[in-house]
Structure 1
């Protein structure tokens, strides 16, 4: 991994920007955050005066004053961009605006580390081969971003039952088994891990609340404030365990509910 990597962050949520900076420094303490820009207007002003003092940009898409794509349309930015967002709707446009990766919030250290390794690979190629890889990513994304799991074929009582994914209120893991819970109280075993389901399910409808639960937006009855900045989520049917969203994920969760 490249040493002394200089990074610019475009992010209007101060807590998210701090978390990203912490993760980047955790991965490589020699990384330097050149500037954190909270809006399109400030970013455009800064980039007009700073053409080459950085190597890589991490940018949110939905900012307080619009979509960050406006920055790249109006300013000739020649450095690669990693788009970090809570929304999956803009993936294609992201790759057409210097994007080399598209990371969905809430992100973790492993995801950011994979992104930095991808950056290193593309920079090492630094040639038509590197461009081919970016175009390949775009082609792949054009297919995968449109495909979410619509149903599950469930083994139940010696039969195979098709279950509409949108009608599953929540997924829960216990003793390394994942259960899909329906509105009427029925539950089925599904042959996926929660990690796999995160990538298979529509992120506008499903949210990974914590290590044990993925919840359907339509199943949320209420959200209560809990200790230490966490949120307590009330869903139906009511699970035996409390569903808590961490302080780090709380803002993303609230935005997800407010889409």
Structure 2
């Protein structure tokens, strides 16, 4: 008798993990979620020690302490991986790390359903022929690339003003309102949350520094070491409060600046 599909989820955002689990179980109520791993470190500890048998991994790519590819490079995991990420620039790396699908956030039920169907089509035969079919299918996979916002149409003093995304040096949230600050020092109210902006902005240009700030690479003047492993970032124009990058994100931030 065939056992139920068992999955491991690697995701550092609890709300996203819950949403993904809900959608997967809605599509296939017989799915068993073995565990949710929230970081590279936690994953590196869990996989070698666990005796749980699983079939499939759903994995984010950018985690709080690095890229999930580090997990797959350090542990010889043989199970297929469905990558679910907000970034479209890791597709080649994903398919070099057991990836069978590449889903861009924000995802929907239909995308997850197609990915699970693809897994079933590729891996249910269990034969050598099926394995050759899997390799050929993976080589043909082409991720759907996301287009990012180039400008924002902003309501300002009774007018509509188009503002290029590249000219916005940082976004800041205060009292449940998000403001965009341009290189020239102008400030505009933006009708997005920072979480929504993360999905619409090019991650090669913008970085979510902390809960209050998303910053443009061109806005960064200097980076200094701060208390407890954090980084103090000086941006232009200068905000009223410090822009700090947490210790968990510090390595990722330095890599982002050093591309």
Query: For residue 240 of structure 1, what is the aligned residue in structure 2?
Result: 240
Q: Is the 8 A contact 1:83 1:94 kept in 2?
A: yes
| 1:181-200 per-position Cα deviation (integer Å, ceiling 9, x unaligned) | 01111111111110000000
Q: Distance in 1 between matches of 2:89 and 2:8?
A: 28
**Corresponding residue to 2:48 among 13, 29, 34:** 34
Aligned residue for 1:171, secondary structure, equals strand
Aligned residue for 2:207, secondary structure, equals strand
Q: Is the 8 A contact 1:61 1:85 kept in 2?
A: no
Query: For residue 48 of structure 1, what is the aligned residue in structure 2?
Result: none
Query: For residue 255 of structure 1, what is the aligned residue in structure 2?
Result: 255
Query: For residue 122 of structure 1, what is the aligned residue in structure 2?
Result: 116
Aligned residue for 1:142, secondary structure, equals coil
Is the alpha carbon distance of 1:84 and 1:255 closer, same or farther for their aligned partners in structure 2, counting shifts above 3 Å? farther
Q: Is the 8 A contact 2:88 2:104 kept in 1?
A: no
Is the alpha carbon distance of 1:229 and 1:101 closer, same or farther for their aligned partners in structure 2, counting shifts above 3 Å? same
Query: For residue 18 of structure 1, what is the aligned residue in structure 2?
Result: 41
Is the alpha carbon distance of 1:84 and 1:247 closer, same or farther for their aligned partners in structure 2, counting shifts above 3 Å? farther
Aligned residue for 2:196, secondary structure, equals helix
Number of residue pairs aligned between Structure 1 and Structure 2:
198
Aligned residue for 1:232, secondary structure, equals strand
Q: Distance in 1 between matches of 2:81 and 2:5?
A: 18
Query: For residue 142 of structure 1, what is the aligned residue in structure 2?
Result: 144
Is the alpha carbon distance of 1:83 and 1:258 closer, same or farther for their aligned partners in structure 2, counting shifts above 3 Å? farther
Q: Distance in 1 between matches of 2:191 and 2:166?
A: 17
Q: Distance in 1 between matches of 2:246 and 2:42?
A: 13
Query: Unaligned stretches of 5+ in structure 1?
Result: 9-15, 23-31, 36-52, 69-74, 105-110
Query: Unaligned stretches of 5+ in structure 2?
Result: 11-38, 62-66, 125-133
TM-score (normalizing by structure 2): 0.60
Query: For residue 226 of structure 2, what is the aligned residue in structure 1?
Result: 226
TM-score (normalizing by structure 1): 0.60
Taking only aligned residues, the RMSD between alpha carbons, in angstroms, comes to: 4.4
- Post-superposition shift, 1:142? 1.6
